[in-house]
Structure 1
Amino acid sequence: KKYPARDEGMEIGDLIFKVNGKAVSSETDLAKCIDEAAGSNQKLTVQIKRHNKIVSLSIKPVHCSETQRHRIGLYVRDGVVGVGTMTFWDPDTRQYAALGHIIIDTDTRQGIDVLRGKIVSASVQTVRRGRPGKPGEKIGVFNEKGTVDGNITKNTSSGIFGQTSGEVNNPLVPHLLEVGYAHQIHTGKAKIYTVVNGDDIEAFDIEIEKVYRDRQNGKGMVIRVTDPRLISITGGIVQGMSGSPIVQEKRIVGAVTHVFLNDPERGYGIFMDNMLAQLPSLQNDAKKFSTLY
């Protein structure tokens, strides 16, 4: 077998954004460029982004006898999907934050560069309960006609960010919440807002066990689920719960980010300080937000 792209220096995790001067954003775009080059017996000039550097490669397609088409020996993925939780939404600018951590490529374990993306409503159909050594998971279906619709403009270590096309509401907390910053958080009781059935937002009890105010890695709080009902349904923190807002003393102080692999009732949370740092226009001591899902 021949692998022209690999032989010319292409690596796993490279982001292809231009071929022969044309912008490409899908597998279909790339296939069309390969066909055009093969038809004229020309090499492809492929521009890629690798670790924030732009690299240009010259690759000649080869004929594949199995498919009777020309190939460059790549497996290309042009998108990822998943279920997560929106942390907050600003009614003045319609900007939102979600997840509390970066979306990574499952193969390379690197953060994904978002060229374009969107968020839509989802309905949780069932929950695979977590247990020590095996994280649980929310399993849902997307509803593009739901109440949440927006773009994704940033994928960062503090979560994903963007803007919604319209208003969104949390019927459980119809009023805006004041922001609580790292210096205002203390160990003790708190709540998280999340969805475990359909699209119904519910409040569940947690305990903030530790606060590491100097941490900037999305692991500033150690939290423990104490709500018997949530534990019975999910076993604790599960995949898809990332971004669930943490509220203490009527302030939104952060979001759930990670689960402890061997203790699913415990995990980490990120500070609002870290999430707001990605949205400079919203950094205001008096700012208030709506919590969502």
Structure 2
Amino acid sequence: VGSHSLKRKKAEDGRPAQTNIRRLSTVEADGNRFLLARIPVVQQSDGYALARKVDTDGRTAAQLHGNKVGNDLTTEIAGDDQLCDFLRIPGKDNGFDIEGLAVIGSRLLLGLRGPVLRGWAVLLEIETELSDDSTDTLVLKKIGPNGRRYRKHFFALNGLGVRDLCTSDDDLLILAGPSMDLDGPVTIFRWRGGFTSDEESVVFADQLEKVLEVPFGQGTDHAEGICLFESGEQLGEVMLIVYDSAAGSRKHGDTDVEGDLFILN
């Protein structure tokens, strides 16, 4: 899934002030950001491979219909009184910005880095199916109230937005960080038994467990991705965290970078 966000150009050191002011006034759309797709994974003798089509079970690669400025999901959000205005605001400016994905059965959970609404983070829940007219086009099912094609869930994450999601049995683990361009704080929350119902939800702080305060650097080591890690040796639940803007000490050669393993409470 792409971020579905607009992007604002950065000011660059060494450029004239008026040039940087123009850059900061420039907001662009990138078609690659408006992607929501699936690709079949096929097990082979020497590992796994991606496939456009799997004849044995009929699975096909497919994506939600879209173009350079949006897709069917943003079209739906454009009619939402709470979220529509944030589609015009770039990511990292508290605009609409998807930064987390988790799968529960046939449902997809999309975590929003922004907007954070009066301290409340937002998760969108969607379910897709193949279009009747095409084997490579997905459509959104009507799963929300009044025939809406998504559900909304609100979480009290101490004013933070969602940076990533993963599941642990029936629990939802949320990597939360700033919606704006800040280093921290960064926290992992657990919602026990989350998403066992088909209703929209408002989850208050006392319904969440704070399981980890994630270290962060000054301009480096911004936690960006999480997953549970199994080595066969751990005594408890272990989480792998990887970072954007990784510190130089994490980089090894041209292709290798270190993440961190944490034992969760």
Q: Quickly name the TM-score band, shorter chain normalised.
A: under 0.3
Larger relative contact order (Cα-Cα within 8 Å, sequence gap ≥ 6)? 1
TM-score (norm 1): 0.25
Q: Which has the larger radius of gyration?
A: 1
Q: Give the TM-score normalised by structure 2.
A: 0.26
